[in-house]
A and B are shown apart, each in its own frame.
Chain A
Amino acid sequence: MSKKIVSMHLNGKAVEEAVEPRTLLIHFLREKMNLTGAHIGCETSHCGACTVDIDGQSVKACTHLTVQCEGSDVKTVEGLANAGVLHAVQEGFYKEHGLQCGFCTPGMLMRAYRFLQDNPNPTEQEVRVGMSGNLCRCTGYQNIVKAVMHAAAALQQQAVAA
Chain B
Amino acid sequence: MIPPAFDYHAPHTVAEAIALLSSLGDDAKLLAGGHSLLPMMKLRFAQPGTLIDINRIPELRGISEQGGVIRIGAMTSENELIASPLLQAKLPLLVEAALLIADPQVRNRGTIGGDIAHGDPGNDHPAIAMALDATFVLQGPQGERQVKALDFFHGTYMTALAEDEILTAILIAPFAAGTGSAYLKLKRKTGDWATAGAAVVLRMAGGVVSHASIGLTNVAPTALRASDAEAALVGKPLSDASIDAAVHAVRAICDPAEDLRGDVEYKTAMAGEMTRRAIRAAAARCA
Contacts and interface: CB of A to CB of B under 8 A. Distances in A.
A132 interface: yes
A132 B190 contact: yes
B108 A59 contact: yes
B34 A63 contact: yes
A44 B105 contact: no
Contacts of A111: 104-105
Contact of A58 (B55, B104, B190, B191): B104
A63 B35 contact: yes
B2 A27 contact: yes
Contact of B35 (A4, A45, A51, A67): A45
A60 B109 CA distance: 9
A22 B103 contact: no
B1 interface: yes
A36 B5 CA distance: 24
A2 B11 CA distance: 18
A89 to B, nearest CB: 15
Contacts of A29: none
A102 B111 CA distance: 32
Given A22-B2, A132-B190, 18 more contacts: A21-B5, A21-B8, A24-B3, A27-B2, A44-B39, A44-B42, A45-B35, A58-B105, A59-B105, A63-B106, A65-B8, A65-B31, A65-B38, A65-B53, A70-B10, A132-B103, A132-B191, A133-B103
Interface of B: 1-8, 10, 31, 34-35, 38-39, 42, 51, 53, 55, 79, 102-106, 108-109, 190-191
Closest 5 CB pairs of A and B: A133-B103, A21-B8, A132-B190, A133-B105, A57-B108
6 contacts: A1-B7, A22-B2, A22-B5, A22-B6, A60-B105, A65-B51
Interface of A: 1-2, 4, 20-24, 27, 43-46, 48, 51, 57-60, 63-65, 67-68, 70, 111, 115, 129-130, 132-133
